[in-house]
Amino acid sequence: MKVLAISDEVAPQVYDAGIQARFGDVDLVLACGDLPHYYLEYVVTMLNVPLYYVMGNHGVELKHCSSEGGKEGPGGCVDIDERTVDHDGLLIAGLEGSMRYKPGPYQYSNGEMSRKALRLGTRLLRQRLFRRRRLDVLITHAPPFGIHDGKDMCHSGFRAFLTLMDRHRPRYLIHGHSHVHSQLQTTTTEYGDTVVVNAHPYRVLEISAPGTTSRS
């Protein structure tokens, strides 16, 4: 299955009239946060494939709607924070947000993210017990602690993600938040049974069906 993963930046290669020529063969889009709603709506409309996302720490995915001043997510896209979804045999889950560095939504302390991961872990345990399904792909905004993260509080990764990978062994963890400024930066790292991928600003991945070993 060919997957387009995007995060944090409106990539000109994606937000372009040539998107169908470049990415028309993808089966799925995974968005890892801090992407404006118009960008996500453009991608899902032009490629006409499912798009699953988590919120970044800036909340730019939301748009104002209605006279009451409410907000809603991007049309045609599915927020999977603390949720699981089965897409053509791939079990996918998500966790939004970054480390808290100032007051605001979509930011969490290590303890708060641990509780979110525990709630998601309960769902994953049910999948393993009752459906004999193992998590294939976890999408997050922030990276795991010590993997592709930064030294400042804002860009520090979550230890809870390490625990989640240890317990549930997803085949992939795809994240955003850590901007890639050089080809020398590490953007793919193996942690146990999990391949950790930085999606900034976009990556195309070949993710095999469960039980096979293809990686990209």
Cα dist. 70→62, 66, 73, 104, 122 in Å? Answer: 10, 6, 11, 17, 31
Local confidence band at 72 (pLDDT 50, 70, 90 cut-offs)? confident
Instruction: Give domain status of residue 100, yes or no.
Output: yes
Which residue type does 78 have? V
Q: Are 27 and 49 in contact (CB under 8 A)?
A: yes
The one-letter code for the residue type at 27 is: D
Q: How many domains does the chain have?
A: 1
At 5 the three-state DSSP class reads strand
- Rounded to the nearest 5°, which phi and psi values hold at 63? -130, 150
Reading phi first (left if > 0) and then psi (alpha if -120 to 50, else beta), residue 162 is in alpha
Return the exposure string of 29-43: e unless at least 16 CB atoms fall within 10 Å of the residue's CB, then b: bbbbbbbbbebbbbb
Distance CA 12, CA 53 (A): 19
- Structure confidence at residue 210 as a pLDDT band (50, 70, 90): confident
User: Quick check: is 142 in a domain?
Assistant: yes
pLDDT-based confidence at 117, cuts 50/70/90?
very high
Residue 216 in any domain: the answer is no
The answer to whether residues 159 and 198 touch, using CB atoms and an 8 Å cutoff, is no
Q: 90 versus 216: which is more confidently predicted?
A: 90
Residue at 212 is within a domain: no
Mean pLDDT of 71-96: 95
Q: What is the band of 213 on the pLDDT scale with cuts at 50, 70, 90?
A: very low
Segment 33-52, tens digit of pLDDT: 999 999 999 999 999 999 99
β-pair type (2-6, 202-206):
antiparallel
* CATH code (residue 122): 3.60.21.10
d(CA 148, CA 175): 9
**How far is 216 from 204, CA to CA, in rounded Å?**
8
Evaluate whether residue 211 is within a structural domain. no
* Domain interval for residue 107: 2-206
